[in-house]
Structures are given as C-alpha cells and as structure tokens.
Structure 1
Amino acid sequence: MKFSELMDEKHFADGVFSTDIPESWGQGRTAYGGLTAALCARAAEMAVGELPPLRSVQVAFIAPAAGSVTTEARLLRRGKSTSFVEAEVRGEKGAATRGVLVYGAGRDSTVKVDDYPMPDVQGPDGLERMEITPMHPAFLSNYEIAPCGGGMPFLGSDKGEMQWWARAQDESYWGSEVGVLAIGDLTPPAAAPLMKTFAPVSSVNWHIDFLTDDLSTEDGWYLLHTKAQSAGDGWSSQDMGVWAKDGRPIAAARQTVVVFS
C-alpha cells in the first residue's frame, strides 16, 4: 500500500483517523516509527486545520502499533502565532504512539544562525542502491536507499554512525511535513553497526525539530545521518539529521533506543 493511500483523507471521520497498517509498513511486531509519527501529523492536519508550519514534534513509542489503528488529535492551545496539538495512535491494546506537535508562524527577526552543515558525502546519483530482501524490515521497501557513509547494522563496525540518501517510492508527499516525518526515522539505530550479530533494537522516543518551512528537495532525495552519542546498560542515545540534496538543513533530531545486546 502506498504512503499516500495510508494518508488519504477518506480514512478520517468523526474526528478519528482510522487506518489498517499492512505488513509492508511493518518493523518487527510494530509499524515503522516514522509512519506512526506521520499519522500523528496527518491526524492533526485533518482534525485541527489552518495550522502554521510544523516546527517540532515529540513522539513516544509506547507499545507496538500494528493492524487496525486509530489516530486522534486535539488542539491543546492556539496562540497568536503558535499552536500545540496532541495526537495519539491507538491499537487493540490501547495507546501505541503519542505525540505533541508544535506549529508556529514565521516572523521578522534580527537573530539568524546557519551552522548545521551537511556531512561531506557523495550525492545519490551513481551510488549503489540498497537491495531490500526478506531479511530487511519490510517498511524499507517503500523507499529507495543509497548508503553513503558509516557502518551497516550488525557487522561489528568501530563507529556507531550511518549516512543514507533516501527518497520515498511514492512521490505524493515529497517535500511535505508528513513526508519528512516518515523518512526522517528511516535509518536503523546508530548503535546497530557496533553489534557483531543480530539482536533487537527498539526506539523509545523521537524528538525532531524542523529547521525550515521549505522542505523541498531535488528529486525527492534527503540525506539522513545518525550517530550514537552514548551507549551502555542496554540503552543508547543518538543524534539525527536530515538535509536536502542541495545541502540545506531540513531537520535535527534526537532519539533514545533500547539495545537488547
């Protein structure tokens, strides 16, 4: 099922966004985390409407989200320029994902900082594309991926870091807020390359800040970078970034991950 089909407004009725998540968007026992974050944003768009650009999202991955899920969003506060919206994805056993989304209009300002350079990597053109096999999480098949730096999961690298070029197979949401949310969490946890054999890794939360309201990128390509800042006692904390193909910073994020190894 295409991403645009999952996000179709026909799923929204009586304030509830109802979705059947197919196995092709699965990640182990649950739906791909970027998808559930995108569902929160899509429900906010449908339920609240007339929102300024999305600035920040805080997501807690509480429990597996699979099969038939519902997403509801409610306005917490609407100020002169900033709105706060809460959204929750629920499955058969209750809360699965909960997000708080911050929307804010731009304004004239004397403060300007542009110090988030894109890593120095080769562009996606000419790079070998990742072949998605049954051994990979199913949701990756919805994206075209060109690894361009760092290690790969479970190969015992000495660095907990990955860099991927990626773009959605479905062009419908290229350059959109829900599209960037969906692709921004695509890479496996940064601790995975440090592991010599397969073991489960599970995202606990995700905080992502949008650095611009221009989310467009050439041909749908985004550079994704993730780096483990610390790991121990079965937990890891990582930095994450998203850049457009022309080098413009799109988003900066952090995530906490449970490591079962």
Structure 2
Amino acid sequence: MDFETLIQGGRQTGAHAMAFHVPETWMQGRTTYGGLTSALCLKAAMPTSGGRPIRSAQIAFVGPVSGDVECTATLLREGKNTVFTSVRMMGETGVAAEAIFAFGTHRESRLNFAHLPAPAVSAPEETVSFFGDSPRRPAFTRNFNMRLVQGKPPMSGAAEADMSLWMRHKDGSVAPDALSVLALADAPPPAAMAMLSEPARISSMTWMAEFLTDDIRTEDGWFLARHVAEASKDGYNSQAMTLWNTSGDPVMIGRQTIAVFA
C-alpha cells in the first residue's frame, strides 16, 4: 500500500479521532516505521489547526504497534496565531505513541535567517541506491528511494557517525507537503550504526522535528538529509538531523533519541 492510499484511507471514528490500518509493508521489525507513526498522528491533528501550518512536532514512540491503530487528537490551546494539539495513538496492546504538534500562522519578521548550508554532494541521479537489492533491508524502506552521498553505511566500522542521503517517496505522485516530509525524514538508519561492525538492534524513543518553512517544494520529490550522531552513552544515542530541498533551502531540523542494544 502506497503512502497516499494509507494516509487518505483513515476512517473518522470521532470528532477528532481517526483509525488507520498499517500493512506489513510499512513495518520496521515488530513495529510501525516511526516516520509513518508520526505522519498518522499529524493527520489526526490537522483538523484542529484552523488551517495553520505545522511548525513543530514532538513524538514519543511508546510501544510497538502494527495493524489497526487509532489516533485521538486533543486541542490543548488555540490562540490568535498558534495552536497546540496532542495526539495519542492506541494499538492492540495499548499506547503506541504520544505526540504534541504546534501550528502557527505566517508572520512577517525582522529576523529572517538560517545558518544551515547544505553539504556539497552529487546529484541524486549521479548517486547509487543505498540499499540496492539487499533482502535484509527493513520492509518500510521499500516505500522510499534512498541514495548515500556522504559517510559510511551501517556496520562498516566507521570512525565517524555522519551520513548524508538523497531521499524521496518511491511513489512519484506523493506531493511534497508536511505529511509526506514528516513520513520521509525519519527513513535513514541511525548514523551511529555506521560505527558498528556487526548488526545490532535499535529502537527510536523520541523524535523532535521543526519545520522551517510553510512553503515546502523540491524537484522530483528529492530531499537531502544529513544525520549526525553527537553522543552515545549508557545504551542511548542522540543524533541531529537536517533536511534540505534540491535548491539547498533548509526545510526541517530535528533531534532523535535512540536506544542501542550493542
């Protein structure tokens, strides 16, 4: 099932509640892929936004989930310019995710800058596939095209945990909007996995994403992501990410906490 079919196939179950079915093709091991979990929560929250663009998303991946899920949105506060909404995703075994979204209207400001230059890399069409035909790739990754342009792949024993990839939805009809970008941005494996020399189990715990524009656009669906693991201690890894469009304009920044069983 492609992304658009899944996201538009949500069934209204209450005033601010939606039910979805996650197929095996969107699984990451025994749980739903985190980017899709986030996008489903955002889909449920959007009717509370009053048409305001998304500015920030904070998601806690509480438990494993698959199959049928229900997302219930709660409007926390609506001001003149901003809206705060929480979303709880429930699965068959209980709470699967908790999210808080901040929506905000566009305002003119004397402050207008972004010190986030995109790395100089080869174009997507000049870069080979990240996964190729590997049968070991997680099921959800087959919904995306990913191409490694800087850094080392997982389990390569690298000295650094810094990778950059071109990414897009494999379905070329997916529009570059907040939902599709949130679903895409979490697709790469944790950068720290490049420092390992053998497979290890990992689990995303929390993810914070900030949208830097309400005008999301790019060429042919491609976005450039850079993921950098900044610290790893006591079995928990902290990494930063940045997402640019094909013009080099920053679209999103974020942070992620990951449990590493290695």
Q: Alignment partner of 2:44: what SS?
A: helix
Amino acid at match of 1:142: N
Asked if 1:111 corresponds to 2:111, the answer is yes
Q: Which residue of 1 aligns with 2:234?
A: 233
Query: In structure 1, what residue type is equivalent to 2:100?
Result: V
What is the SS of the residue equivalent to 2:5? helix
Q: Which residue of 2 aligns with 1:51?
A: 51
CA contact (8 A) 1:176 1:215 kept: yes
Match in the other structure for 2:123: 123
The alpha carbon displacement at 1:10 in A equals 5.0
Distance 1:80 1:23 in 2: 42
AA partner of residue 213 (structure 2): T
Partner amino acid, structure 1, of 2:6 = L
Query: CA contact under 8 A between 1:234 and 1:259: conserved in structure 2?
Result: yes
Q: Summarize deviations over 1:215-248 as a string: whole Å, max 9, x none.
A: 1111100001100101121111001010001100
Aligned to 1:157: 158
User: How is 1:1-261 mapped onto 2 (pairs within 5 angstroms)?
Assistant: 1-8=1-8, 10-15=10-15, 16-45=17-46, 47-48=47-48, 50-130=50-130, 131-261=132-262
Q: Is the 8 A contact 2:149 2:164 kept in 1?
A: yes
Matched residues, percent identical?
Answer: 38
TM-score, normalised relative to structure 2:
0.96
Match for 1:113: what amino acid? F
1:218 is paired with a residue of what secondary structure? coil
Letter in 2 for 1:129: S
The one-letter code sitting in structure 1 at the alignment partner of 2:138 is: P
How many angstroms apart in 2 are the aligned matches of 1:242 and 1:10?
27
Counterpart CA distance in 2 for 1:110 and 1:77 is 27
The DSSP-based 3-state class of the residue aligned with 1:125 is helix
Aligned residues of 1:31 and 1:65 also touching (Cα < 8 A)? yes
> How far apart are residue 20 of structure 1 and its match?
1.4
RMSD: 1.3
Q: Structure 1 residues 10 and 196 mapped into 2: Cα distance closer, same or farther (>3 Å)?
A: closer
Q: What residue identity is the alignment partner of 2:168?
A: R
Quick one: which amino acid aligns to residue 12 of structure 1?
Q
Q: In 2, Cα distance between the equivalents of 1:21 and 1:158?
A: 37
Q: Which runs of 5+ in 2 are unaligned?
A: none
Q: Which runs of 5+ in 1 are unaligned?
A: none
User: What letter corresponds to residue 138 of structure 1 in structure 2?
Assistant: A
Secondary structure in structure 1 of the residue aligned to 2:134 = coil
Query: Shift in Å at residue 174 of structure 1?
Result: 2.5
* TM-aligned CA distance change 1:153 to 1:178, over 3 Å: same
C-alpha distance in structure 1 between counterparts of 2:19 and 2:234, whole Å: 38
Residue 173 (structure 1) shift: 3.5
SS in 2 for 1:191: helix
TM score, norm. by length of structure 1: 0.96
Task: Provide the C-alpha distance between the structure 2 equivalents of 1:73 and 1:170, rounded to a whole number of angstroms.
Answer: 28
Deviation at 1:90, TM superposition (A): 0.9
Deviates more, 1:220-229 or 1:164-173: 164-173
